[in-house]
Structure 1
């Protein structure tokens, strides 16, 4: 059994991930800003701790991670047009999470990123989309440069369709949709597979069962 700190613990992927971790015998520790989420998250087996991703410092993050064995960064700045939140959440909160994990003595770190964020952006790219892509790109680069036992999961466009349990995963895949259910299943799988340490991969809906897909990208 492991205790898994979930940064962005009330996010759409995180809420799907908690019960999967419980089923696997782990304890998800949902880190949220709003205490009103506690009852909902506790009902699916998560332990709830408070953390303000934008206002709290690295020491506060490290205290929130206390007693955990791994960290999943599942936070995002949201779908609105707030460029600054892309920088403070998608990048800033990720970097603070990485630093806090190291400070807390936690080696394992899984980050949910986005497909194709290393590709050059056209000059006419929308400012909000540019801020999002650059934040994800830079957060991934920081994690790769760290001493953490990292895995970076880069899903395609997220949908709320029911999960299929089947995906396509590789270092590079053609851009396509993937359900949030299936992203959660992929994250749960890589947490339990140390062969994915140091692996960055893209994932979309496909034909391979999740365990087979993860075995295919594991080093």
Structure 2
């Protein structure tokens, strides 16, 4: 199995790359900074230097060619303005999905966020609203694409706690979101299980910390 991950130097992506490599999966992480390639290599993954904000479709599709799955885990990150929320969290996700179709890669897993409707609530910070709207648009684009076996994963508030291996995982409207959180390490475990099992194709699923072992929670989808 070969997996290509956009946002390869992100916290969740590095945890996922390490997990997949331990399981014998061939992994490639896309990074913007050449200095990050050695760090990914130490995790057992290949890397490619590519900026999804400027790269042409043909270049991204060439890198995706031959993969069994693509994972979009990129994000503009803290400190970025509304413009970059759009160019990364929306436009780069759209480009990556288009590259999957162009390269004939069927499996596509997109990391999103819970509570996207908060973008329309009064008093929400403009940049945070732009982030939520970008995620919403990227989700909408992916759902409208024919031929991809896509899964959208929406984690709750992210923490840096160690993995517990147990979560709550369900389609939207089932979980009590509130101020629910989940560790990045557990998100990586769920992403790995989705990739390895092929579960939840054509579904949007939400994720919080919980009491169900990851493999059981993913299988139940």
- TM norm structure 1: 0.95
Distance in 2 separating the partners of 1:206 and 1:41: 30
Aligned to 2:164: 164
1:63 CA displacement: 1.7
Q: Determine if contact 2:199/2:218 at 8 Å carries over to the other structure.
A: no
| Pairwise CA RMSD | 1.2
In structure 2, stretches of 5+ residues that fail to align are none
Cα separation, 2, equivalents of 1:71 and 1:81: 25
Return the alpha-carbon distance in structure 2 between the equivalents of residues 187 and 58 of structure 1: 25
Residue-by-residue CA offset, 1:2-43 (whole Å, 9 max, x unaligned): 110000110110010011111222111111111111111111
Aligned: 1:70 with 2:64: no
Question: Following superposition, which runs of at least 4 residues in structure 1 exceed 4 angstroms of deviation?
Answer: none
> 73-82 vs 2-11, which deviates more?
73-82
Q: Distance between the aligned counterparts of 2:210 and 2:191, measured in 1?
A: 16
- Asked if the contact 1:51/1:64 (under 8 Å) is kept, the reply is no
Shift of 1:116: 2.1
Q: Aligned ranges for residues 1-219 of structure 1 at < 5 Å?
A: 2-118=1-117, 121-147=120-146, 148-172=148-172, 173-175=175-177, 176-216=180-220, 218=221
Name which of structure 1's ranges 136-145 and 121-130 shifts more when overlaid on structure 2.
121-130
CA distance in 2, matches of 1:84, 1:57: 19
Instruction: Work out the CA distance in 1 between the residues paired with 2:94 and 2:163.
Output: 30
Encode CA deviations 1:101-153: one digit per residue, 9 max, x unaligned.
Answer: 10011110000000121466213211011101000011011111112110110
Aligned-pair CA distance for 1:171? 1.2
Q: Is the 8 A contact 1:50 1:64 kept in 2?
A: no
CA distance in 1, matches of 2:104, 2:80: 36
CA-CA distance at 1:49 after TM superposition: 1.0
Distance 1:144 1:91 in 2: 13
Deviations 1:164-204 (A, max 9, x none): 11110111322211000000000000012223111111001
Q: Does the 8 Å contact 1:31/1:64 carry over to 2?
A: no
Partner secondary structure for residue 128 of structure 1: helix
State whether residues 27 and 46 of structure 2, in contact with CA within 8 Å, keep that contact through their aligned partners in structure 1. yes
Q: Secondary structure, in 3 states, of the residue corresponding to 1:196? A: coil
User: Is the Cα contact below 8 Å between 1:10 and 1:32 reproduced in 2?
Assistant: yes
Query: What is the CA–CA distance in structure 2 between the aligned matches of 1:96 and 1:8, rounded to whole Å?
Result: 13
Shift of 1:79: 1.3
Within 1, Cα distance between the matches of 2:19 and 2:62?
A: 25
